[in-house]
Amino acid sequence: MKIPGEKKAVTETSLVLPEISCAHCRAGLEENLYRLPGVEDVEVSLRQKRVRIRFDPLQTSEETIEKSLAGLGYSIQF
């Protein structure tokens, strides 16, 4: 239950995924990331090979997101 005036904690992470190459990749990433609890927004840039994810850190973590991406076969470039 949301309390009026309560601010929601939101964290944003941006990750470089060298393997992103097509619209099919983008759709698969978005679909899978939105399934994670707390993920509010996903932006995929094929040109920059980057995904930006906004999420509630009380529901999921960056580590969980990274494991999900690894499970899809993507490596994260730091």
| pLDDT tens digits, 8-61 | 789 999 999 999 999 999 999 999 999 999 999 999 999 999 999 999 999 999
Q: What is the pLDDT of residues 24-35, one digit of tens each?
A: 999 999 999 999
Domains of the chain plus CATH, in order, are 11-71 (3.30.70.100)
Look at residues 39, 20, 16 and name the one whose alpha carbon lies nearest to residue 28: 20
Q: Report d(CA 61, CA 58) in Å as an integer.
A: 8
